[in-house]
Structure formats: C-alpha cells, structure tokens
Structure 1
Amino acid sequence: MSRPQECSTPWQRVYAKFGLTQSQLAKSLGRHKSKISRALKDEKGLISGRDQEALFSLAKSLKVNLSPEDVTPGR
C-alpha cells in the first residue's frame, strides 16, 4: 500500500509520521504486518491502548514527534 495521500484516520497519521514501510512499522511494534495493513485500510483506523503505548515508545526511540492528537480520532 502506498502512503495515504490524506491522513484522515489515526493509523494513517501515525504511519505518515514514522515514514517506515508497513513491514518495518509492524516489526518495530512487534505486530504482524497484516495488522498494520488492515488498520490503514480501516474506515475509522482507531488505535488500541496497547498499540498507542507501543507507538509512543517507538516514537521516543526514533525521535519522532508523536502527539496524543495523532493517535486519537477527530482531528
């Protein structure tokens, strides 16, 4: 899947900020790459609490500026 042009869901916003491939992001989070693919295609693209914790930890280690607004809907 190519990068979403319009980042309208939380997963799409986060994916765009990290700049990793789906496989790289999945591996870094300890998730299966199909989970990332499904999340990016999902209409709502909500991020679970467990995934939010993993994303903030990864963002800190990669020095990616990730805010609470990026991982929650309604932006």
Structure 2
Amino acid sequence: MTKIHKTPWQKVHAKFGMPPSQFARVLNRHRSKISRALRDDKGLISGRDQELLIEVASNYNIPLTSDDLTPEVQ
C-alpha cells in the first residue's frame, strides 16, 4: 500500500480545521494563494508564511510543531 503524505500547507490547514476561504481570511492572504498552496505537490511554506502561521496559530490556541511546517521525509 502507498501511504499518502500531506504537504506542509495541507498539514497546517488540517490543524486549523476550517474551509480554505476562511483560512485565507484568518491569515489575511488571498484565497487563490491558499488554494494554490494546498494543491501544490510539494506545498512548501516560505519563512515569512511560517512566521505568520505560528503567530496566528498561537492566537487561535492551535499547537503547531516544526514537523507540521516541514515536508515529510520519504
């Protein structure tokens, strides 16, 4: 069986547990940027976006770890 790996954007989005459009509003980012990031094969998160995600997650009491923000090793 093939294990499906989530990208960093997909892992973080799952932790927030909200639709992509609401996730974009919470991050103050354009919806299309979030949609593209969630569909991307690698879904890497830039340093600037990592800082933003950590700050917003803290405001929403969502625990994020470094594993959530980095790709899984295959």
* Shared fold, TM over 0.5: yes
Query: Which one-letter code corresponds to 2:72 in the other structure?
Result: G
Q: CA deviation at 1:28?
A: 1.1
Taking only the aligned residue pairs, the percentage that are identical comes to 56
Distance of 2:36 and 2:26 partners within structure 1: 17
Q: Which runs of 5+ in 1 are unaligned?
A: 1-5
TM-score (norm 2): 0.87
- Structure ranking higher on relative contact order (CA contacts 8 Å, 6+ apart): 2
Query: Which one-letter code corresponds to 2:32 in the other structure?
Result: S
Equivalenced residue count is: 70
Query: Which one-letter code corresponds to 2:16 in the other structure?
Result: F
Q: CA deviation at 1:30?
A: 1.1
Please tell me whether residue 14 in structure 1 is matched to residue 4 in structure 2. no
Q: Which runs of 5+ in 2 are unaligned?
A: none
TM-score (norm 1): 0.86
